[in-house]
Amino acid sequence: MHEEHSQVESDANETPPIVTARPAGGWVYARPATPPNPLLLPGVDVRRAWLNLVLVFVVCVLTPGASALLLWVESDGAALERIEFSGVAVTWLRFLVVATLAGYFVLRGDCRPEMLGLTARRLGRQLLWSPAIIAMMYGSMLAIGMALLAVSGAAPAGEEIRRRFEFAEALPTESFTLTITLLTAVACYEELLFRGLLVPLLRRVSGSWTIAIACSSLMFGLLHFHQGVMAIVQITGLAVVLAVAFVATRSLAAVIVAHFLFDLLQFQLVRFLITAEP
């Protein structure tokens, strides 16, 4: 009797087993949330995006458009005057204006550098995209050029090519240092403005990447009106390639390097053709 009583007390003092239930679908592990695409401008309301877009358009788009129109009018729509160091300085000044505006947006808290495609994270991997972007640019240029040649014929195309050579001869092709300086300014200025600033802002106010890419590319092409209609169409196509690459890679560095190298290859070709003329 005493033994039975002791056994009951011992059983009562034992810690009851802990029962756990396993989920029917297996164990669930929490995954870290995927950060939002910075090019979507998270945290920037539509009203603020519209105000920034108007500011970008007034300060950065109308200024080069007006200067290009003035240059075209002064030359009677024909050959351009020689572009010397002053022209290079003006291009760098434009880039500084765009960079200042972008810096103002960042300091005001409207965006972060990565929202403009500016990030040092995996920079080497970003730059690996540049050769592929250049290949797509040449593919676009050749495809559009062949289509325009088939539609318009050889005579108008020859006139367009002549006008482009006149424009190219106005550039400092004989000075490699001046050429590098000019092309660096052009690539940085145009990519920061038309891809880094305009594409995300247009996407924010329109809600569509297609509209953003189409509008920014068309504006980019129209600002080259002094090179002719065919040039506008081809350059618009190049802008589409650059904009799509910018959105896909989220890297402004990749498209800046691609733009610079593409222009450099074109300038070297022009220099060769000019020196090879009899």
pLDDT in tens, 84-129: 556 678 888 889 989 999 999 999 888 899 999 999 888 889 999 9
Residues with Cβ < 8 Å from 241, sequence gap 6 or more?
A: 133, 136, 137, 140
- Over residues 196-236, the pLDDT tens digits come to 999 999 999 999 999 999 999 999 999 888 777 888 999 99
Backbone φ and ψ of 208, nearest 5° = -140, 130
End-to-end C-alpha distance for the chain, whole angstroms:
126
**Domain extent listing, the chain:** 39-276
pTM of the full predicted structure?
0.79
Phi, psi of 14 (to 5 degrees): -70, 145
Q: How confident is the model at residue 49 (pLDDT cuts 50, 70, 90)?
A: very high
Three-class DSSP category at 174: coil
Q: What gap in Å lies between CA 201 and CA 206, rounded to an integer?
A: 9
Whether the Cβ atoms of residue 134 and residue 258 lie closer than 8 Å to each other: yes
- The pLDDT of residue 169 is 62
Question: What's the half-sphere exposure (Cβ side, CA atoms, 13 Å) at 267?
Answer: 21
CA atoms within 13 A on the CB side of 166: 16
For residues 5 and 240, what is the distance between their CA atoms, to the nearest angstrom?
A: 89
